[in-house]
A and B are shown apart, each in its own frame.
Chain A
Amino acid sequence: MKILVVDDEADVQPLFLQRFRKEIKNNEFDFSFALSGEEALTYLHSAHSEVVLILSDINMPGMSGLELLTHIRHDFHNPPPPPVVMMITAYGDEENHRQAMENGANDFLTKPLDFNLLKEKLKTFTE
Chain B
Amino acid sequence: MTVFCFVAAFLLIRRLSKRYRTTHIYLKWSTLFNTATWVVIVLYIAVQAFLEDGVDNMLGAALLLGLLLYVDKEPDFKGQKSYLQANFPLVGVSFITGVTQLIAPVFYDKHDNFFEFATIASFVWIFSKWANSNKQEEELRIAAERKAELEALVSERTAELVKQKENLQEIVEELKATQDQLIQSEKMASLGELTAGIAHEIQNPLNFVNNFSEVSMELIEEMTEELNNGDKDEAIAIAANIKQNLEKIRHHGQRADGIVKGMLQHSRASSTTKEPTDINKLADEYLRLSYHGLRAKDKSFNANLETHLADNLPLANMVPQDIGRVLLNLFNNAFYAVMQRQKADAAFKPVVEVTTSLKGKYMEIRVKDNGTGIPDSIKDKIMQPFFTTKPTGEGTGLGLSLSYDIVVKAHGGKLDIRSKENEYTEFIISLPI
Q: Which residues of A contact B (CB under 8 A)?
A: 9, 11, 14-15, 18-19, 59, 61-62, 64, 66-67, 90-91, 93, 95-96, 99, 111-113, 115
Contacts and interface: CB of A to CB of B under 8 A. Distances in A.
B254 to A, nearest CB: 13
A19 B207 contact: no
B201 to A, nearest CB: 10
Given A59-B295, A90-B200, A99-B300, A18 B207 contact: no
Contacts of B215: 15, 18-19
B295 A18 contact: no
B299 A93 contact: yes
A9 B299 contact: no
Nearest to B242: A18
B204 interface: yes
Given A90-B203, A112-B211, A18 B245 contact: yes
Nearest to B305: A61
Contact of B210 (A66, A99, A112): A112
Interface of B: 200, 203-204, 206-208, 210-212, 215, 219, 241, 244-245, 248, 251-252, 291-292, 295-296, 299-300, 302, 304-305
A91 B305 CA distance: 19
A115 B218 CA distance: 13
A36 to B, nearest CB: 11
B124 to A, nearest CB: 115
A91 B296 contact: yes
B302 A64 contact: yes
Contacts of B203: 90, 111-112
A113 B211 CA distance: 9
A41 B250 CA distance: 33
B211 A19 contact: yes
Contacts of A61: 291, 304-305
B190 to A, nearest CB: 21
Given A11-B252, A14-B244, A62-B305, 9 more contacts: A14-B245, A15-B215, A59-B295, A61-B291, A62-B304, A90-B200, A90-B203, A91-B200, A91-B299
Given A14-B244, A15-B215, A18-B245, A112 B207 contact: yes
B99 to A, nearest CB: 127
Nearest to A59: B295
Contacts of B305: 61-62
B211 A96 contact: no
B212 A15 contact: yes
Contacts of A15: 208, 211-212, 215
A91 B295 contact: yes
A115 B299 contact: no
Contacts of B245: 14, 18
A113 B295 CA distance: 20
A58 B330 CA distance: 25
A9 B204 contact: yes
Contact of B302 (A19, A67, A90, A112): A67
Contacts of B219: 18
Contacts of A112: 203, 206-207, 210-211
Instruction: List the 6 closest A-B pairs by CB distance, nearest first.
Output: A112-B207, A64-B302, A61-B305, A18-B215, A95-B299, A96-B299
A94 to B, nearest CB: 9
A115 B204 contact: no
Contacts of B299: 91, 93, 95-96
B205 to A, nearest CB: 9
Given A15-B211, A59-B295, A64-B302, A90 B204 contact: yes
A61 B301 CA distance: 11
Contacts of A64: 302
Contacts of B292: 59
Contacts of B251: 11
B206 to A, nearest CB: 8
7 contacts: A11-B251, A14-B244, A90-B200, A91-B200, A99-B300, A111-B204, A113-B211
